[in-house]
Amino acid sequence: MVKFKILITLFLVWSCIQAEAQLAEPTDPVHTEEWSSEPVILEGIIHQANVPKDAIILLGNNLNLWTKPDGSASEWTIEKGIMTVKPGAGDIISKISFEDCQLHIEWRSPEVIKGNGQGRGNSGVFLQSRYEVQILDSYNNVTYYNGQAGSIYKQHKPLVNACSKTGEWNSYDIIYKAPDFDHFGNKISSARVTVIHNGVVIQNNVEILGTTEYIGFPKNVIHGGGPIRLQDHGDFVSYRNIWIRRL
C-alpha cells in the first residue's frame, strides 16, 4: 500500500512538471508558428468602398494625422495620396485613438520582389497599437500560415489566401470590438475582429487572445483606447485611402 501511494505521488509530481512545461513561455519564435494546413488560394477583388459620412479620413493627401510613437513627425513619404514606408524610419501611429471601430485600409507590396517568407513586403496594421493584422506579400510566397497576409499575427491564420499579385493593391475592411477590463485590470472580454480582404471574409469574428507577440504567449494588460499603428518592417509597403468609423 505504501509503495502504491509513493507511485501515485510520483505520478502526480510528474504530471505537474509536464503541465508546467507545457505552460512555459516559449523562447523561440518557431514555437508559435502554425504550419498544420495551408489556407486555400482564392482570388478576390479590391474593395474601394465609398467613404461613409461619419468616417474620419486618416490618410488623404498629407500625413497630418500621423506621427511617430514618440510624437515626432513621420518620415514616411507621401505622393498623390499614396504613403510609403521609409525603411528604418520606424512605425507611425494615428494622432487619434480608437476602441470599437470599422477600419478601411488599402495597401500594396513592392513591385520588385525582395526576399521571401516574412522578409517580403512585410508591414502590419495594429489595432489599439497592440493587435496586429498582418500585411505581407503572400502571393506565391510560403511562410507560416498564422503569419501570412490577413492573419491575426501568430494567433489566427486567414480562412483563405486572398492576396493580390505582387505589386498590386489590396484592401482590408476590419470590424473591431475592443477588449473590456474591470477596475482591477482583469480582462472581462477579449477583443474580437472580422477582416474582409479584397472583398473576401478571411477572419470571421475571431477572438484576439491578447497582444500579438513574435515570441511567446499573448499578453493582457489593462488599457483604454489606442491609435492605429502601421509597422515599418524594412519594406517599401505603400498605403492609401485609410478611413475609420467609431462604433
Output the DSSP codes for 59-126.
Answer: ESSS-TTEE-TTSPBP--EEETTEEE--TTS--EEEEEEESSEEEEEEEE--SS--SSGGGSS-EEEE
Mean pLDDT, the chain cut into blocks of 10 residues (247 residues total):
48 43 74 87 78 95 96 96 97 98 97 93 98 98 97 98 97 98 95 97 98 96 97 97 97
C-alpha cell at 195: 477582416
Question: Cα–Cα distance between 172 and 160 in angstroms, integer?
Answer: 14
The stretches of the chain forming alpha helices (DSSP H) are 2-23
Would you list the domain boundaries of the chain? Answer: 31-246
Whether the Cβ atoms of residue 60 and residue 81 lie closer than 8 Å to each other = yes
Q: Which residues pair with 189 in a beta bridge?
A: 180
Fold of 31-246: Jelly Rolls (2.60.120)
The pLDDT score that the predictor gives to residue 23 is: 61
Global model pTM greater than 0.85: yes
